[in-house]
Amino acid sequence: MMVKHDEKKEVSPLMRDYRGDWRIMGQEGYLMNKHLIHRRFDRGICRDDFLQCEFCWDSLDDKMCYFEPNKQYWVCEACFREFLPYFHWTVEEDK
């Protein structure tokens, strides 16, 4: 006898409703459509000793992440991958 499992359809990030996601706390106002630089976290250029991802608050010490240079916001790689389609970021590699 075959058992039919309920299949979950993956929702496109463009169609996903992020309003219930605890990591989204108004970042649309300052990170939407921004240009980010992919680089290793640098405590020396970090604003106000904020050492966490702007979304999940994961510690970024000695990790590759994404940096918004004008206001100095940092995004971890996991949050970057998940939110890229929603925030429409452009990226360049660190020189």
How do residues 50-70 score in pLDDT, each as one tens digit?
Answer: 689 999 999 888 899 999 988
Whole-number Å distance between alpha carbons of 85 and 61:
26
Closest CA to 36 of 90, 76, 79: 90
Whole-number Å distance between alpha carbons of 29 and 70:
14
User: Is a pLDDT exceeding 70 seen at residue 17?
Assistant: no
pLDDT, average across residues 34-52? 83
Q: What is the structure's pLDDT at 28?
A: 87
Q: What is the structure's pLDDT at 58?
A: 92
pTM above 0.85, yes or no: no
Instruction: Find all residues with CB under 8 Å of 76, minimum gap 6, and list them.
Output: 53, 55, 56, 58, 60, 63, 65, 66
pLDDT, average across residues 15-39? 85
Q: Which two tokens stand for residue 72?
A: 């100095």
Q: Cα angle at 79 between 62 and 95, to 5 degrees?
A: 50
